[in-house]
Each structure stands twice: as structure tokens, then as C-alpha cells.
Structure 1
């Protein structure tokens, strides 16, 4: 690692992803990836011949997890915040994955640009969850941009996925259960048919706080509701399912 520290700045840290020796550069103080990224990368169905695009990629955690787990032909990440993309690109060099994982600094609402890109077998996205109607928010706040629909909303994300996906390509999204009706309505508006849903509960007896959704571009109407996943057991420890997703068992 010592010879690779040239890619890391003083206000940054290198986090070991515990997957194929991969590491990720993140800010010491700032937005960091959590369980959502791990759950989404596990939920996505990806083959090694696939081309994958991750929207709202941030510092690139999902593309690195996807590459480590599935070794697809290539993984792209698209992110509007320039400093995030800079970190992601340095993580590519840190992991020596040039040509395998690539990042683009662009606005997913730039439809003309999206149309210039290749089509993808899979699009993944962990979008901002919160509606941008909860008081005054600093539009330059990096944490706020990651969490609130400031620079893009749910419709922008699904519209972009429609453009980027190949015929019958798959969209994998993680969001909040209270937005599920919006997700279904917008997917059908853009002819991405909901195919699979999985609810994530903090523990047994608690309402779900995360939902995973798979949609298919121009797919037929058939929805599969998967068994729920529980994060913690009665003792407050990660369940066996979560340990497996985190490659600990």
C-alpha cells in the first residue's frame, strides 16, 4: 500500500472493502458508504459479460463492490459532484483497475449526453431518498446532496435508466419503503416493469426501512415478492444472512 499512498490526500482515508483486496478512498469527515451499497450489490444479478452503469455513484462504492463480486466486462459510475468523481478515479488507480472500472462526472439529467453512451445490461442506483421539501437545505452541502432530492429526483433517475438500458436490461434500485408506490408508478411510466421486490427489516417485529427493487426494460407484467431480510437478530448481532452478504461466512 505504501507506494499507493500518492493517491490519498491528508483529509482522506482508505477503507478496506474486505473483498478481493479492494480499497476505497473516502473523506475522513463526510459522507461514507453504509449497508445500502452492500445490500444493493448483493441484490443485483450480474454476469461477467455484462456492462454495468451505476447512477448517483458518489465515491464509487457500488462499482467496486460489483466488480469484486461479479467481474463484469466493465462497470461505470456516473456522478454530478466533481470531488466525488476525483476520489473515485483515484480509487481506480489505487486498485489498479484502469479499463475495468470507470467514472464519469456528469449530470444524469443531461439527456443528450446519456444518449451518446453505450447501452448497458444493468443499471444500479442508490439515489437520494428524501424529498426536497423538508425545510432549508444548503445546496452545496455534500451530505444533503447525497440524502435529499436536490440535484435529481426519483423520476430523473428512472428516466435516465430507461435511456441507458438495453432492451430487456435490468434496473436494480435501493430506496425507502414509503416511496414504493412512486417507484412502481414511475417505472411503468418509463416502461421499466417491476419484477422483484425485497424488504429489509432492522430486526424481527420491526417495520422495513429499506426496499430493494428490480425492474426490466420493456418486461412483461409479473412481480415476485421475495422473503424479507433481517439485519439484526434478537441479541443485536448481524444475522447469518447479513454476515453472508458481508462475506463473513
Structure 2
């Protein structure tokens, strides 16, 4: 493992089902279960090009790197988070496979040719910018969680531009925005094909969803996958989640 400088407040975490290590900083950005689940939700192309939009410290794309030989591009607006991701790439000796674009995602096709991407994964801001109840966050978390610098419409527009025909988009988002998500996907010719609801515990309401869409795909044949429950009643991970985090 390459020696990489670690800044004050940072730590190195590992998803133990892989060898990938991620540089984290609780005050700046740390990945959580949504990033882990998103990295395992779509079937990854064995080769080609994957883009991770709203990549934060690069967790989704870096975790995916252990499952494919495809080139992976992380796209992150915040310079501090992009720099953390770049160091994590070097930490894992992945510079030949993974790279970072530190720019607004709407400029993606200035960096890569349109209609060239096989798969886009995106863990976007969940909350509309008008929702003010939880804005007592650091600037980094504020931008990561609220639609201040980007929104669902802009993300889908960029995906339509960047994806190949029959290329796929995989999103993690909030169930209360499902109808808006589906309407926006369809507006940009992204046909929803697979949805999975995530539940914190059995008997609780879903608090996340995973959705996959295909560019220029048929609007018929959408599948609702079995529910995924994160925690047992005692707070431990369920067997499914434990296998994702630690391997079988």
C-alpha cells in the first residue's frame, strides 16, 4: 500500500469485503450505508467507462473498482472532497483505473465525449434547497445533502448527454421523491427498470431507495426488487448487509 499524507481530522476506513480504503473526515465528509449499497446495486460493466457523479470522497466509485476493470471517473464539485478522493486513489494504487474531475457535473461533456458512458452512479443531494430545517451543517455537508449546486433535473439531463444508448444510471435517493424521480427520468428518456426500497429495520418505513434506469429503454418491464433491511431489532446488521460490508 502506498504511503499517502493524512490531514488532521482524517482517518482511513475500509469496506472489509474489499481491499479498498477510503480517506474520511467526519467534519468534511464520510460515506455511509447509502454509498455502500449504491456501489453494489447495478451490474457493473466488465470494461468500458463508469462515471460517479456527486462522488464526494469517492467511496462509490472506489468500492466499485474492485468489481470491474472498467475505467472510473469521479466527478465532484467541492475541491476539498475531490482532493481527498484523489489521495484515496493513490492510496489504493488505482491511478491507472480511477481518476477525478473537480468540476460542476453540468460540465461533464466538456471533459468526456457525449454518449460514451456505460454506467453512471450517483448519490445526489436528497433535499430541496427550500428545506431549511436541517441546514445547521458544515458547508461541505450542506452542499452534499441539499440541492444548492445541482438538482435532480440537472443530473438527469447530464446523464442523458453522457450515457450511451442503453447505458444505465443508478441512483440512491429518498422514497418520498419517487414520483418526481420517475417523472424526471422519463423526461430525459431514461426508462426506470429496477427499484429496491431500503428499510432501517423490519416494520419501519423505507428511508432510502435504489433505482436503475436505461437510456432510450422501453417504459415497460419495471421491476420492484425484494426489500433490503439494514438492521436487526438489536441494532446489528442483517445477514445481507453484513455480507456486503464484510463478505460471506
The TM-score with structure 2 as length reference comes to: 0.92
Q: 1:120, 1:169 within 8 Å by CA — same for their partners in 2?
A: yes
1:193-212 deviations in Å (ceiling 9; x for gaps): 00010001111111100000
Q: 2:191, 2:217 within 8 Å by CA — same for their partners in 1?
A: yes
3-state SS, counterpart of residue 179 of structure 2: helix
Q: Post-superposition shift, 1:175?
A: 0.1
Q: CA RMSD in A?
A: 2.0
Q: Which residue of 2 aligns with 1:90?
A: 87
1:92-120 deviations in Å (ceiling 9; x for gaps): 11111112011101111236526646711
Q: Which residue of 1 aligns with 2:98?
A: 101
Q: Post-superposition shift, 1:72?
A: 2.8
Q: Is residue 2:33 matched to residue 1:35?
A: yes
Q: Which residue of 2 aligns with 1:123?
A: 120
Q: Which residue of 2 aligns with 1:224?
A: 223
Match of 1:113 among 90, 110, 115: 110
Q: 5 Å matches for 1:1-249?
A: 4-5=3-4, 7-68=5-66, 70-110=67-107, 113=110, 116=113, 119-135=116-132, 137=135, 141-221=139-219, 222-249=221-248
1:85-144 deviations in Å (ceiling 9; x for gaps): 111111111111112011101111236526646711100000000111023958981111
Q: Post-superposition shift, 1:238?
A: 1.2
3-state SS, counterpart of residue 185 of structure 2: helix
Counterparts of 2:138 and 2:24 in 1: how far apart (Å)? 18
Q: Post-superposition shift, 1:164?
A: 1.1
**Residue correspondences, number:** 246
Deviates most, 14-23 or 172-181? 14-23
**What are the ranges of 5 or more consecutive residues in structure 1 without an aligned counterpart?**
none
Q: 1:75 to 1:149 in 2, by over 3 A?
A: same
Deviates most, 164-173 or 105-114? 105-114
Q: 1:111 to 1:242 in 2, by over 3 A?
A: closer
1:63-82 deviations in Å (ceiling 9; x for gaps): 110002x1232111101111
Q: 1:115 to 1:49 in 2, by over 3 A?
A: closer
Runs of 4+ in 1 over 4 A off after TM superposition: 136-140
**What are the ranges of 5 or more consecutive residues in structure 2 without an aligned counterpart?**
none
